[in-house]
């Protein structure tokens, strides 16, 4: 694959498996993806298809003893992240690649105020820049050493004086950016005092406050009710235009993806099966699985047709699979499908499929 | 981890044996037993103690002596002799064989703890589950009574009752039984409350089962697991408290041997013969360790359920 | 706030219950109340005993005695202690309680600090040799009767290695500090009497350690398990995703939350410490309340036994309350929720 400088993230041939006492579970099978700058990409697939593994691998939060990166690389701004040692890898977390998670209710530390947690993130960012923050208050003195990679062990209490004030203002800005109505109130609240939707906004604010180039959102709306879901999604779309951050949305819900993403990648059992712009994906889905997913979406039309679920179930990832993994459920399966694994090929401009129906 | 439950019934509790004892569960339990070394060590220690207790008790009734020396007989060796081949644990100030005395005293601690725990388990479960299901006055009363018991250390309370009743193993056992059950009732109540709103309880209630029937048939089997785990870890505590009472002279009358009492009696000789108070104390600790490890292992195993 | 008030009411209720129960116990289960309250020598002077009995209402019905006892309590009158030469019980308690407090405070601090440090190490290096040896260490500790640990410490540190003293509260040849707070160590600190302070601390170490070694185990166990849970939590994952150093994540986000579970333990620990004190003070001849209970028991000194039981209960209840207050401070959900 050509790596050009347009790409923010290039994943090549990434194979990740989970090893337990007796089994090896193949989560990602030679995955290859590119994410460009300032794009909104959605990775869609059902549970266990490897999308979360991919997300965690990118940010480097995979639990490495059971998981193992067997082959491949993750190149971010021309740096191979998988080859880095943990301490260097960590430098990319938060300020270059940020991530928000599925369960907003438990993803914030219950004993610290929301504002303090956001401030902590901001401090990380400033530390990494070797930020020229003028140490005025005692607290700041302990916290900041110019050019030192030290991260403070105390969240600086947000007070009225000097640096603390700057920090407070930036935290308020972060909250305003995610359209929180009364940031002055929210900043001093504890997580349990906020609703699920609010907490997710706080998570987004916290992630964006570190000004990452890539924000990975792992099922950010799954735990929210439909109305809040729509609000958060709309927010993310708006933010995409306002900040210079690419968003990688992980979801099992194709409908959700369609509302916000520019580009949709469909995954199945550790493989990427289709990769296309959102309009192409919906007007001309090519892979039988994508077609199946689309027909699962209940449409608001008056047509009282039955929902068409995809028959069969996901193959056992612990077993070696020869050939296309979708073959057992595919209505258009051919002989060649069980013998060889289809490669991901660009059938139309910016529309890739891995299916023998469209060539080898 | 509940795999393999193929029935529609969402009751995966002990009151539904077919789902509860499914093959997958059994397999998980077996593998956790095998991998749990601590439980095996604990079980062996407990087994040794149990066996010794039974043997000593039986031979005691039959007036057969199985210890190397008569535990009550003085001057079977030179007084305050250090451990040697003749006397594995040495002799005490009256020339009695320490090892024989320790072995003979085994049934005391062992049986007292089992009786007290057994009693507390049963009474606690019954009172606790009734309080949980009936609520109201009984529940409030239970909570307040247990609060009061919690505020007084078990030993102090047992001491007070013990003095009033007079010394002796039986009296101490009674004293301990009186004060030991409240935590069990409290725990049982808590567990019963947790399951009170589960589906199968509602189902039983709707189908017209009487309250007692629900409690006995459904509640007790479900909460018994947690309680048994707690009990197995608690046995050691009873042993420690009883040993304390024995140390204070409230348990056996000399010259009968009892571990705690021996530590107290031999304490004065620790300068010249430090092994004297050491051995009975060590045995007490060993007993408690054995039960603790067994309890931990039991908890790990039952968590596979 | 209402949380604390509720706990306070509960505490008072429990205290009344404790007093009542101990009172009933001593009066209805015991033998001749006259002997119990006036000592064994009472039987030698029957006429005098009778006179005292009437004066102290010992022949009145139980509820009358109860009434007098309670009113007496409220006035600070716990009766007279036969085993201490008929000195008022309150005086004896006043003399012995400060010493016991010295040991208890030492033991609690050591127990918790040792428990937390070892618990953190055990959770950080779990399943390694360090974890297993810590486990063995604390298992031995909590399984051994307090008198056993005390004896072992005594034999090793005093008789074998002559490192620490074998008994008493301080070297009697050193001048004791003036009575300010009535707690010798604190008084010595205030007064700057470092000679006494050093000696007193030396005498506190062994009995304090004997107690602490018996109780730190539960702290290790709970903290280790709590840390393991917390480090798997979602907010720890978020903290890592923010790019924080693992050490920061471990302490600021992990330990801070795990410590909350240790607070629950502290009142349990106090109960165990008090139980152990009775034996430990006896073995180290430490002039505290444990010593008093011990001798009172042997002498069947009912006023003494009753009073010490009540004082112990008060200590436990107060520590429960302190734990509750600590909860409020440490867990914002309880404070504001």
ipTM of model? 0.83
A99 interaction partners in chain C (CB closer than 8 Å): 241
Q: What is the CATH number of the domain that holds A234?
A: 3.40.50.300
The alpha carbons of chain A give a radius of gyration, in whole angstroms, of 22
Residues A257 and A287 grouped into a single domain = no
* Residue A316 falls inside a structural domain: yes
Residue in C18, C146, C298 closest to B152 by CB: C18
* Residue C306 contacts residue C78 (beta carbons within 8 Å): yes
* Residue A200 falls inside a structural domain: no
Low-confidence ranges of chain B (pLDDT < 50): 1-11
* Residue A94 falls inside a structural domain: yes
Is residue B68 exposed (0-12), middle (13-18) or buried (19+ Cβ within 10 Å)?
middle
Alpha-carbon torsion (A117, A118, A122, A128), positive or negative: positive
- How do beta strands A67-76 and A351-353 pair? unpaired
Q: Kindly list the distances between the CA atom of residue A7 and the CA atoms of A76, B301, C65, in Å, as whole numbers in the listed order.
A: 8, 52, 90
What percentage of chain C has pLDDT greater than the value 90? 22
pLDDT tens for C149-183 read 999 998 888 777 677 777 777 777 777 777 777 77
pLDDT tens for A101-157 read 988 889 999 988 898 899 889 888 887 765 333 333 222 222 333 333 333 434 455
Q: Does C127 touch chain B (CB under 8 A)?
A: no
Averaged over A61-74, what is the pLDDT?
Answer: 87
Going along chain B from its start, the domains and CATH numbers come out as: 37-67+96-303 (1.10.3720.10)
Yes or no, beta carbons of C140 and B249 under 8 Å apart: no
Q: Does C323 touch chain B (CB under 8 A)?
A: no
* Residue A38 falls inside a structural domain: yes
CA atoms within 13 A on the CB side of C100: 27
Residues A11 and A95 grouped into a single domain = yes
Owning domain of residue A344: 267-358
Residues A238 and A314 grouped into a single domain = no
Q: Kindly list the distances between the CA atom of residue C223 and the CA atoms of A82, A106, B39, B49, B133, in Å, as whole numbers in the listed order.
A: 34, 21, 22, 32, 34
- Flag the least confident range among A147-156, C7-16, C31-40: A147-156
pLDDT of residue A136: 36
Q: Does C127 touch chain A (CB under 8 A)?
A: no
Cis peptide before B255 (omega within 30 of 0): yes
Yes or no, beta carbons of C242 and A206 under 8 Å apart: yes
Candidates A86, A99, A111: best to mutate against C (most CBs of C within 10 A) is A111
Q: Single out the residue of B290, B266, B291, B268 nearest to residue B279, CA to CA.
A: B266
3-state SS class at C275? helix
Residues A176 and A250 grouped into a single domain = no
Q: Single out the residue of A94, A84, A146 nearest to residue A120, CA to CA.
A: A94
Yes or no, beta carbons of C242 and A111 under 8 Å apart: no
* Residue A349 falls inside a structural domain: yes
3-state SS class at A30? strand
* Residue A291 falls inside a structural domain: yes
Dihedral (Cα; C186, C189, C193, C196), 10-degree rounding = 50
Which of residues A154, A189, A224 is at a domain's end?
Answer: A189
pLDDT of residue B22: 61
Is residue A191 exposed (0-12), middle (13-18) or buried (19+ Cβ within 10 Å)?
buried
* Residue A339 falls inside a structural domain: yes
Number of domains in chain A: 3
Residues A237 and A278 grouped into a single domain = no
Give how far B288 is from chain C: nearest CA, Å. 5
Q: Tell me the average pLDDT of chain A.
A: 80
* Residue C250 contacts residue C235 (beta carbons within 8 Å): no
Residues A167 and A312 grouped into a single domain = no
- Flag the least confident range among A216-230, B6-20, C185-199, C287-301: B6-20
Residues A26 and A85 grouped into a single domain = yes
C272 interaction partners in chain B (CB closer than 8 Å): 153
d(CA C207, CA C195): 20
Give how far A52 is from chain C: nearest CA, Å. 14
Give how far C161 is from chain B: nearest CA, Å. 13
DSSP letters spanning chain B: ------SS----STTSHHHHT-HHHHHHHHHHHHT-HHHHHHHHHHHHHHHHHHHHHHHHHTT---SSS-TT-S-SS-TTPPP-SSSTT-B-TTS-BHHHHHHHHHHHHHHHHHHHHHHHHHHHHHHHHHHHHH-HHHHHHHHHHHHHHHHS-HHHHHHHHHHHH-SSHHHHHHHHHHHHSHHHHHHHHHHHHHHTTSHHHHHHHHTT--HHHHIIIIIHHHHHHHHHHHHHHHHHHHHHHHHHHHHTT-SPPTTS--HHHHHHHHGGGTTT-THHHHHHHHHHHHHHHHHHHHHHHHHHHHHT-
Confidence bin at A52 (pLDDT 50/70/90):
confident
Which of residues A198, A231, A261 is at a domain's end?
Answer: A261
Residue in C237, C242, C260 closest to A120 by CB: C242
Give how far C228 is from chain A: nearest CA, Å. 15
Give how far C190 is from chain B: nearest CA, Å. 33
Averaged over C234-261, what is the pLDDT?
Answer: 90
Give how far C237 is from chain A: nearest CA, Å. 8
Find tokens 């005093």 and name the residue. C158
Candidates C242, C250, C255, C256: best to mutate against A (most CBs of A within 10 A) is C242
Tokens of C264: 């629950």
Residues A167 and A135 grouped into a single domain = yes
Candidates B141, B143, B240: best to mutate against C (most CBs of C within 10 A) is B240
Tokens of A188: 């001093």
Which subunits count as partners of chain B given 3+ CB pairs below 8 Å?
C
Residues A216 and A99 grouped into a single domain = yes
A→C interface, C-beta within 8 Å: 59, 61, 90-95, 98-99, 101, 103, 106-111, 120-121, 124, 128, 151-155, 190, 192-193, 203, 206-207, 210
Which subunits count as partners of chain C given 3+ CB pairs below 8 Å?
A, B
At A54, which helix (H) or strand (E)?
A: helix A51-59
Yes or no, beta carbons of C309 and B152 under 8 Å apart: yes
B159 interaction partners in chain C (CB closer than 8 Å): 293, 297, 305
Residues A180 and A95 grouped into a single domain = no
pLDDT of residue B140: 83
Q: Single out the residue of C15, C37, C9, C12 nearest to residue C309, CA to CA.
A: C15
Q: Does C152 touch chain B (CB under 8 A)?
A: yes
What pTM does this model have? 0.81
Residues A181 and A34 grouped into a single domain = no
Residues A290 and A240 grouped into a single domain = no
pLDDT at C244 over 70: yes
pLDDT tens for C295-324 read 887 777 777 877 888 888 888 888 888 888
C15 interaction partners in chain B (CB closer than 8 Å): 151
Residue in A61, A110, A154 closest to C237 by CB: A61
* Shortest CA distance from A90: residue in chain C: C243
* Residue A70 falls inside a structural domain: yes
Residue in C242, C252, C257 closest to A94 by CB: C242
Which of residues A203, A228, A261 is at a domain's end?
Answer: A261
């Amino acid at each position: 694959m050509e790596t050009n400088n347009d790409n923010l993230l290039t994943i090549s041939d990434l194979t990740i498996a989970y090893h337990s006492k007796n089994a090896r579970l193949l989560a990602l099978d030679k995955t290859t993806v590119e994410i460009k700058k300032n794009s909104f990409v959605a990775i869609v697939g059902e549970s266990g298809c490897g999308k979360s593994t991919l997300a965690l691998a990118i940010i480097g939060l995979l639990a490495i003893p059971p998981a193992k990166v067997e082959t491949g690389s993750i190149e971010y701004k021309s740096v191979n992240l998988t080859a880095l040692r943990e301490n260097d890898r960590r430098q990319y977390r938060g300020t270059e690649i940020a991530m928000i998670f599925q369960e907003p209710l438990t993803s914030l530390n219950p004993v610290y105020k929301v504002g303090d947690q956001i401030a902590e993130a901001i401090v990380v960012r400033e530390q990494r820049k070797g930020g020229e923050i003028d140490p005025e208050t005692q607290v700041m003195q302990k916290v900041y050493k110019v050019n030192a990679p030290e991260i403070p062990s105390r969240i600086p209490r947000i007070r009225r004086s000097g640096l603390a004030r700057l920090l407070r203002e930036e935290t308020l800005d972060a909250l305003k950016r995610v359209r929180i109505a009364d940031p002055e109130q929210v900043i001093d609240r504890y997580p349990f005092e906020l609703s699920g939707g609010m907490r997710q906004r706080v998570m987004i604010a916290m992630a964006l406050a570190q000004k990452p180039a890539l924000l990975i959102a792992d099922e950010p709306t799954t735990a929210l009710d439909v109305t809040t879901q729509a609000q958060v999604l709309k927010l993310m779309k708006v933010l995409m235009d306002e900040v210079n951050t690419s968003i990688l949305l992980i979801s099992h819900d194709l409908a959700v993806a369609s509302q916000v993403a520019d580009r949709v990648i469909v995954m199945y059992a550790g493989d990427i099966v289709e990769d296309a712009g959102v309009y192409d994906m919906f007007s001309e889905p090519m892979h039988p699985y994508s077609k199946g997913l689309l027909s699962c979406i209940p449409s608001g039309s008056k047509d009282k047709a039955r929902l068409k679920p995809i028959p069969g179930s996901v193959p056992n990832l612990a077993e070696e699979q020869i050939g296309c993994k979708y073959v057992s459920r595919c209505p258009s399966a051919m002989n060649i499908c069980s013998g060889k694994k289809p490669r991901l090929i660009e059938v139309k401009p910016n529309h890739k499929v891995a299916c023998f129906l469209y060539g080898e | 981890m509940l795999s393999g439950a193929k029935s529609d019934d969402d009751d995966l509790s002990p009151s539904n044996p077919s789902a509860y004892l499914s093959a997958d569960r059994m397999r998980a339990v077996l593998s956790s037993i095998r991998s749990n070394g601590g439980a095996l060590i604990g079980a062996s220690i407990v087994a040794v103690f149990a066996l010794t207790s039974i043997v000593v008790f039986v031979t005691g009734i039959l007036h057969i002596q199985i210890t190397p020396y008569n535990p009550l007989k003085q001057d079977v060796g030179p007084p305050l002799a250090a451990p040697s081949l003749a006397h594995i644990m040495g002799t005490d100030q009256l020339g009695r064989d320490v090892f024989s005395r320790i072995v003979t005293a085994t049934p005391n601690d062992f049986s007292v703890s089992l009786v007290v725990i057994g009693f507390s388990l049963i009474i606690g479960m019954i009172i606790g589950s009734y309080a949980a299901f009936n609520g109201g006055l009984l529940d409030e009363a239970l909570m307040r009574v247990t609060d009061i018991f919690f505020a007084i250390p078990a030993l102090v309370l047992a001491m007070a009752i013990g003095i009033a009743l007079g010394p002796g193993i039986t009296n101490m056992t009674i004293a301990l039984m009186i004060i030991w059950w409240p935590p069990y009732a409290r725990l049982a109540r808590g567990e019963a409350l947790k399951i009170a709103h589960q589906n199968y309880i509602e189902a039983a209630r709707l189908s017209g089962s009487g309250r007692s029937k629900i409690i006995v048939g459904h509640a007790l089997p479900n909460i018994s697991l947690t309680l048994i785990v707690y009990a197995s870890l608690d046995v050691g505590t009873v042993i420690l408290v009883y040993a304390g009472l024995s140390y204070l002279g409230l348990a056996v009358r000399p010259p009968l041997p009892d571990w705690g009492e021996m530590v107290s009696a031999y304490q004065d000789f620790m300068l010249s013969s430090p092994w004297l108070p050491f051995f009975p104390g060590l045995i007490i600790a060993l007993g408690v360790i054995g039960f603790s490890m067994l309890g931990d292992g039991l908890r790990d195993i039952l968590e596979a359920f | 706030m209402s949380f604390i008030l509720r706990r306070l009411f509960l505490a008072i209720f429990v205290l009344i219950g404790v007093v009542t129960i101990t009172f009933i116990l001593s009066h209805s289960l015991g033998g001749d109340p006259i002997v119990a309250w006036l000592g064994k020598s009472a039987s030698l002077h029957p006429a005098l005993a009778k006179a005292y009995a009437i004066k102290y209402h010992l022949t009145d019905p139980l509820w009358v005695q109860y009434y007098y006892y309670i009113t007496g309590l409220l006035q600070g009158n716990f009766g007279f202690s036969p085993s201490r030469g008929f000195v008022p019980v309150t005086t004896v308690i006043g003399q012995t309680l400060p010493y016991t407090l010295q040991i208890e405070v030492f033991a609690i601090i050591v127990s918790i600090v040792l428990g937390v440090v070892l618990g953190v190490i055990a959770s950080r290096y779990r399943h390694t040799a360090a974890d297993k040896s810590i486990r063995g260490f604390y298992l031995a500790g909590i399984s051994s009767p307090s008198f056993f640990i005390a004896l072992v410490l005594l034999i090793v540190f005093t008789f074998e290695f002559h490192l620490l003293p074998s008994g008493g509260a301080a070297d009697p040849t050193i001048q004791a500090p003036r009575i300010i707070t009535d707690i010798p160590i604190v008084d010595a600190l205030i007064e700057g009497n470092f000679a006494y302070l050093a000696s007193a601390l030396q005498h506190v170490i062994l009995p304090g350690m004997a107690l602490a070694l018996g109780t730190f185990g539960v702290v290790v166990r709970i903290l280790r398990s709590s840390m393991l849970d917390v480090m798997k939590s979602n907010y720890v994952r978020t903290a890592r995703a923010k790019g924080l150093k693992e050490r920061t994540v471990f302490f600021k986000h992990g330990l801070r939350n795990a410590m909350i579970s240790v607070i629950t333990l502290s009142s349990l620990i106090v109960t165990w410490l008090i139980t152990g004190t009775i034996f430990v003070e006896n073995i180290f001849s430490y002039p505290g309340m444990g010593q008093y209970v011990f001798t009172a028991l042997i002498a069947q000194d009912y006023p003494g036994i009753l009073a010490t039981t009540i004082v112990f209960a008060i200590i436990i209840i107060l520590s429960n309350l302190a734990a509750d207050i600590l909860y409020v401070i440490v867990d914002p959900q309880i404070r504001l929720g």
